[in-house]
Structure 1
Amino acid sequence: MQTIRIKRPSSDVPRLLAGAATVAGGAGLVLVLADVRTPLRGPLALCCLLAPPGTVFAVALRGLDPWARGVLSVTGAVTVVMLVATGMLATRHWSVEGGVIVVGALSALALIGRYALRSRQHP
């Protein structure tokens, strides 16, 4: 008699979710910057706003438990977006395009700073 083994689910789910978020964020970026009027613009723009800072927080919190890392990444991303929106509204310079650009630029600078600091510590 032969034993039937049940195959465990693959651990590719986080990678697939990250890829889907990247595609949705890229589509949101294109829709926002091209000023395309479509019902998908809002949700995809929100994904474009939340994905970059969430990724930066996830990279910075690499040593934590996956659930804690996820919760803190989402919380940090929402906080960054809210701070950018508050600053832009206070200075009367709010626009969706500007918000997407500022959040993306801040996320890129934080990620570059993280890797620069890491490379300085480990020559």
Structure 2
Amino acid sequence: MQGLDSETTATDTSDRSDTSDRSDRSGTSEASGRSHTTGGPGRDLSPLLAGAATAVAGIGAVLALTGSDSPLRAPFTLFFLLAAPAAAIGAALSGLDPFARGVASLAGAVVADMLIAQGMLALNRWSAAGGTAAVAAFSAGTLLLVLMVRRRRGRAVRGRES
């Protein structure tokens, strides 16, 4: 039993750490309360990546709608067909943690694309340009619905506070 006690003591002391070395996500030290910058080369990369993704998706939609014979048409259009509904569904799932939101929105995007394609095939109205336009309309409608619900919720909360 003495060996077990020494192992427990060793893990207890290794788990302790100085709180002055830890910092929270806001960049303030717990011990001093002072703000410090945690800059680095990849700190401001997410807006750049979001802009690049939007540009690639937009180019994919334009290439599909115009019927271009570009070799970039297929990958850019596929990116648009996944990214546009995923962004709209992800905006609606704002209460989830980021990983769960990403998985659910990507799965929802695949389901939305499949349902749109199946509906267009059942109605004998399938075309690549029509499918792209239908996915764009679905994504825009979902985003507008999310914005309207959030605006209404914000007004209701402000009305109760008054």
Aligned residue number for residue 90 of structure 2: 58
Instruction: Provide structure 2 residue ranges, at least 5 long, that are not aligned to the other structure.
Output: 1-37, 156-162
CA RMSD of aligned residues (A): 1.7
- 3-state DSSP class of the match of 2:124? coil
Q: Give yes or no for the alignment of 1:89 onto 2:121.
A: yes
Q: Give yes or no for the alignment of 1:17 onto 2:68.
A: no
**Identical columns (%):** 47
Give the structure-1-normalised TM-score: 0.85
Q: 2:141 aligns with which of 70, 84, 109?
A: 109
Deviation per CA, 1:64-97: give whole Å up to 9, x if none: 1111111111111111001001111111111110
Map 1:19-58 → 2, pairs under 5 A: 19-58=51-90
Q: Give yes or no for the alignment of 1:71 onto 2:103.
A: yes
- 3-state DSSP class of the match of 1:62? coil
CA distance in 1, matches of 2:96, 2:45: 18
Query: RCO greater where, 1 or 2, for CA within 8 Å and sep 6 or more?
Result: 1
CA distance in 2, matches of 1:12, 1:90: 46
CA distance in 2, matches of 1:74, 1:106: 15
Aligned residue number for residue 3 of structure 1: none
CA distance in 2, matches of 1:50, 1:108: 14
Computing the radius of gyration from Cα coordinates, the structure with the larger value is 2
Deviation at 1:16, TM superposition (A): 3.3
Number of residue equivalences: 118
Task: Give the ranges of 4+ consecutive aligned residues of structure 1 lying more than 6 Å apart after TM superposition.
Answer: none
Deviation at 1:7, TM superposition (A): 5.5
Moved more, 16-25 or 78-87: 16-25
Instruction: Provide structure 1 residue ranges, at least 5 long, that are not aligned to the other structure.
Output: 1-5
Aligned residue number for residue 80 of structure 1: 112
Q: Which amino acid aligns with 1:105?
A: A
CA distance in 1, matches of 2:46, 2:100: 15
CA distance in 1, matches of 2:45, 2:74: 25
